[in-house]
Amino acid sequence: MKIGFIGFGNMAQALVDGLLLKEAIRPEEIFVCAKNWEKLKKNAEERGINPCRTAEETAERSDLVVVAVKPYLVAEVLEPVRGLLREKTVVSVAAGFPYDRYEEILLPGTHHLSTIPNTPVAVGEGIIICEQQHSLTEEEYGQFETLFSRIAVIQQVQTAQLSVAGNLSGCGPAFAAMFIEALADGAVKHGLPRELSYRLASQMVAGTGKMQQFLGTHPGAMKDAVCSPGGLTIKGVAALERGGFRGAVIDAMDAVEGD
């Protein structure tokens, strides 16, 4: 399968980097286009992939086309290639563009799927939220899932849940990174070297997440399992509760959802 990216910003680059890292596709099977040709050529050459001058060239040379431009540019950029896209599998990573909006933009009969990936796809540990409503055939969706499951958990949600699921997985890395940084700052305050603090905090977060996924344990039970009576951990938990830790995290989700 040859994959084309219309738009090659941070998210498109993260997807390509993950696919190449996991050897899910060969570099020569990836085609990319973007407005700034010199920047595109440099980014493409670094990865060994094919830069294209136009969206038309990208679509013509690809089987699956990923729409990765800014949301406000989607309609304008796709207008000249609507005929070509009708013969392709179209996957969108543009936030705020669910199935119904693409039905208004693309030609009738175009097979398309709206998704929201997050940046950890770059290291093969991402999440790709997929809108349950789509027009891909069973074979096309299977090909998409087989390819991108190499770099992400593929999770379908209803259209009404697309925003919150996308914000949880898409904004969450920033919140998690702040937690890692804060933990490391605390360790540095007490004498641990910074790089070691970052390394240990990051591995702790990654390992805890993996353990929860593997065991399916309620997060509260995992917390309880570490909190011995009168021990250090429960004292730290109490300090987080006094600081409004849970409320602050919920407030952050409220903020990104516009509540």
Which sequence spans correspond to the domains of the chain?
A: 3-157, 166-257
Tokens describing residue 58: 């990208």
CA neighbor of 35 nearest in space, from 47, 15, 14, 52: 52
What is residue 96's predicted lDDT score, i.e. its pLDDT? Answer: 87
Cα 26 to Cα 39: distance, rounded to the nearest angstrom = 22
- The phi, psi pair for 153, rounded to 5°, reads -75, 125
Task: Just give the CATH number of 3-157.
Answer: 3.40.50.720
For 48: left if phi > 0, alpha if psi spans -120 to 50, otherwise beta; the answer is: left
What is residue 24's predicted lDDT score, i.e. its pLDDT? Answer: 96
Mean pLDDT by 10 residues, the chain (259 residues): 96 98 97 96 97 97 97 95 96 94 96 97 97 97 97 97 95 97 98 98 96 94 96 96 96 91
Tokens describing residue 234: 């429960």
CATH topology of domain 166-257: ProC C-terminal domain-like fold (1.10.3730)
What is residue 150's predicted lDDT score, i.e. its pLDDT? Answer: 97
Cα 218 to Cα 216: distance, rounded to the nearest angstrom = 7
pTM above threshold 0.95: no
CA neighbor of 82 nearest in space, from 112, 53, 114, 52: 112
Tokens describing residue 119: 């940046």
Angle subtended by helix axes 162-189 and 245-257, to nearest 10: 140
What is residue 76's predicted lDDT score, i.e. its pLDDT? Answer: 95
